[in-house]
Amino acid sequence: MRVILKTGLLALVPETDDEKRELFDWQLAMADHVLNVLGGGAKGISLHDLGPKDQACREPINVVFDHADRWQPISNLAETPFVLWGQAYASIEGFWQSLKFDTDADRLRVAKLWGKDAKMATRGRSEPASFTLNDQIVVSGTAAHRRLMLEACRAKFSQNALARDTLLATGDRQLMHRTRRDSTTIPGALMADIWMRVRAGLRKAEKEVCSKPQNGLGGETR
């Protein structure tokens, strides 16, 4: 194996068929990974894998509804059933759009939707100035309105295992929600902040569970 060193570059050139196969397999396994140089001097150096670039560099994650995206379950449009205040919803989007309707029949119909069907459920309808939920009048676009999104997301991620596991798999990476047309009631920056707040809450709950003695272990003996 021939080694070529240049500023900002280390190249490996195979010289035998075995080396070609070995390097090809290594390249496939390490594609788009970050390597850290350790050692130095006369004894040589070693390259250590820090993981995929997006994770090692903690690149932000833009959460959008894309069937090919591993983060899709986090999206409001994803089919992630949950129950909030006794009502079942197929998605966060179904919950959010149902608030724009006045009748229980319409709200129940939209509550069952997800994906583009949920997003387009209110097409042609303007945002109501206010609406009633749980016998309370909520003014659209206010802090009280936005708190409903937080409560819905808490319900979704605490009840739906796939959504919860996907959210926790984002680690400490910053979440974003950049779309072609930003929402006026829940801007993308606020939506991403809600996801990260829920993520922090899930982690805190996990730590509290892990810190409790299991089956009497770690507790007082008598």
Return the CATH number at 141.
Answer: 1.10.357.40
What pTM, to 2 d.p., does this model score?
0.76
Question: Which of 54, 70, 90 represents a domain boundary (last residue)?
Answer: 54
26 and 125 inside one domain: no
Phi and psi torsions of 169, nearest 5°: -70, -10
* 44 inside domain: yes
| β-pair type (130-133, 87-89) | unpaired
Return d(Cα 214, Cα 44) in angstroms, integer: 48
Tokens (6 digits) for 147: 């708190």
The dihedral built from the CA positions of residue 172, 178, 179 and 184, taken in this order, carries a sign that is positive
45 and 69 inside one domain: no
| β-pair type (175-176, 61-62) | parallel
Q: Residue 216: what pLDDT?
A: 56
Long-range contact pairs involving 195-199 (C-beta distance under 8 Å, separation at least 24):
195/63, 195/74, 195/153, 195/167, 197/150, 198/150, 198/153, 198/154, 198/157, 198/167, 199/157, 199/167, 199/168, 199/170, 199/175
- 9 pLDDT more than 70: yes
Interval 125-183: pLDDT, tens: 888 999 999 999 999 999 999 999 999 999 999 999 999 999 999 999 999 999 888 88
Q: What single letter denotes the amino acid at residue 36?
A: N
* 98 inside domain: yes
Return d(Cα 109, Cα 7) in angstroms, integer: 63
12 and 45 inside one domain: yes
* 222 inside domain: no
Domain span at residue 153?
61-209
27 and 76 inside one domain: no
Interval 60-94: pLDDT, tens: 899 999 877 899 999 999 999 999 999 999 999 99
Q: What single letter denotes the amino acid at residue 35?
A: L
Among 21-25, 36-40, 193-197, the range of highest mean pLDDT? 193-197
Alpha-carbon distances of 124 from 46, 127, 187, rounded to whole Å: 61, 10, 20
Alpha-carbon distances of 128 from 105, 110, 153, rounded to whole Å: 17, 16, 22
Q: Number of structural domains, the chain?
A: 2
176 and 139 inside one domain: yes
Rg (CA), the chain: 25
151 and 203 inside one domain: yes
Return d(Cα 22, Cα 2) in angstroms, integer: 14
CB 92 within 8 A of CB 198: no
96 and 142 inside one domain: yes
113 and 166 inside one domain: yes
Q: What is the mean pLDDT of residues 89-109?
A: 96
83 and 183 inside one domain: yes
Closest residue by Cα to residue 110 from 139, 138, 135, 131: 131
Q: Residue 147: what pLDDT?
A: 96
Hey, how many other C-beta atoms are within 10 angstroms of the C-beta on 157? 26
